[in-house]
Structure 1
Amino acid sequence: MGTDAVAAKENIHGTMLRIHFAKIAYVTVSLPAFSLLFCFLSGVLFRFYDVNETVCKATNVIPSISAVTGILPQAYVWRICIGLHATPRFAVGIMYYNYYMERLRNISPQYQTLYRNLIRLNFWLYTIENSCLVGVTYISNKENYPIHEKIFIVFMVACNCYMLLNTIIYRWSREATMSPSEQLSYRIKKWMFIAIISATGGLIIFFIRHRFFCIPFAFSYFSACEYVIAYTNMTYHLSGYLEFQDYYFIAALVSPATETRNGDVITPLDGSPRKPLLRRRTGDNSL
């Protein structure tokens, strides 16, 4: 670009809050990860027979996620942690949408419309997944099983579709040669999707074996698949740290955009392009 190029800027000052994205990512993933571990261990140690009880009375030794998070006081811990972790995840969904839009330049012109539609779909799948996780948490299977079951099915469909589509978009939006960080993120996404789709297949098979044939230990295998799905999903979302490792969540004042041209600073008086501009040379403090 030549010397007449104009660079738009935003001045950020008066920062009240500045949090590195890495901290947000680790805390957001740690809340469900450790609360689920707490619910499982405490449920098995202190309420083993209660959490392993099944409708058809088949032998079961691994309780489901709904069972260990549906007893008290474990339900309180689980619901609090899911509620706390869900809010920043909605913000991350918007970040991912803008992140992919910025990479529109890497897409061939004939595919850009398709690319835009896919990242919109990707955003809504992510939002539905997060919303259903909140719903399935606060509407337990003991309180309203039909609603709980339907929300769980929508969650599983949205989760698997999002992970597949997001992995495809991630690779599509990259240059031909990816950086080491991008390669690591892509590998994590790819292998976590393979793991979760395999566990989902097992989940369906063992659910049928338990629900319709009441086979001993079938529900234990079903529950094991649930935990694989839960932790692979968390790991998949944690890989977002690699995309946003240089980003911060900031609460600050943002002044009107300024422009620089040939060493001069041009500042809109009120941020409106229709108003006259106050032109001041850099370093000149005179009024």
Structure 2
Amino acid sequence: MPNVANFLPTISAAIGGFSPQNYVWRICISLVAGIRLMMAFSYYQWHLRVNMGLYHLLYKRLVMFAVLCYVIENIALVTLTSVSSTDNFSIHENSFIVFMVCSLIYMLLSCCLIKWSHLSGAYKVTPTDVRHFHMKTFLFVFNISVFLFSVYLYFRHNAYCEPYIYSWFALGEYLTVLSNIAFHGFCCIDFSQYSFALVPTEDVQTGKFKN
């Protein structure tokens, strides 16, 4: 395939075979992986803070499925980060596919669950809650739109190898990642009224467990 003009590298090309940025990227993703998995449990409790009455069992199962997708998304992210496209293209590609599918399913279910709980009247909804829901919905729609357009550009580049098409695909990849980060960044708002702490369950002096 002949070389064509481009102005942006993809994320994989930028960090895959160059040091030290590939190690910096992997270390950063690994450091936040544990926190993000902890957030999965937190979001499970956050969604279940409301009781949906007769539909609570269905609601709970959807929450469990959403959280499962969130966990798999993060595991896939660590995998595709640890194994670059130059190391093993098949593992990297499949991990990226799993990451995107689970990410989109989670964002969709998260928006649906929030809307359902808002409409249920199970708790008082403030204008701020509505605004945050609309922002999350916008980020989901933006994310899936940019991702699908990027897929189109990727296959178009492979078919015709036109100038700058691969760079526009790279830009779509950046926007997909940034909108994903922004969506998950709402945890700072969702849990703004909560505190995370490590609480000892055993008295150091007596050796007895606390209730």
TM-score by shorter chain over 0.5: yes
Structure 1: stretches of 5+ with no match in the other structure: 1-54, 256-268, 273-287
Q: 2:11 aligns with which of 61, 65, 68?
A: 65
C-alpha distance 270-138 of structure 1, shift in aligned 2 (>3 A): closer
Aligned residue pair count: 203
Quote how far apart the aligned CAs of 1:254 are: 4.5
Question: By percentage of residues, which structure has more helix?
Answer: 2
Q: 2:153 aligns with which of 206, 210, 214?
A: 206
Contact 2:72 2:99 in 1 (8 A): yes
Contact 1:86 1:130 in 2 (8 A): yes
Quote how far apart the aligned CAs of 1:243 are: 1.6
Task: With a CA cutoff of 8 Å and minimum separation of 6, indicate the structure with the bigger relative contact order.
Answer: 1
- Displacement over 3 Å in runs of 4+: 269-272
The 1-side partners of 2:151 and 2:210 are apart by 57
The 1-side partners of 2:182 and 2:169 are apart by 20
Give the TM-score normalised by the residue count of structure 1: 0.66
The 2-side partners of 1:84 and 1:207 are apart by 31
Task: Look up the match of 2:87.
Answer: 143
Quote how far apart the aligned CAs of 1:82 are: 0.5
Task: Look up the match of 2:205.
Answer: none
Percentage of pairs with the same residue: 33
Task: Look up the match of 1:158.
Answer: 102
Quote how far apart the aligned CAs of 1:241 are: 1.8
Quote how far apart the aligned CAs of 1:188 are: 1.9
Question: By percentage of residues, which structure has more strand?
Answer: 1
Give the TM-score normalised by the residue count of structure 2: 0.89
Quote how far apart the aligned CAs of 1:117 are: 1.3
Structure 2: stretches of 5+ with no match in the other structure: 203-207
Contact 1:206 1:221 in 2 (8 A): yes
Contact 1:182 1:242 in 2 (8 A): no
The 2-side partners of 1:137 and 1:230 are apart by 13
Larger Rg: 1
Quote how far apart the aligned CAs of 1:180 are: 3.1
Alignment of 1:11-160 (within 5 A): 56-70=2-16, 71-103=18-50, 105=51, 107-109=52-54, 111-160=55-104
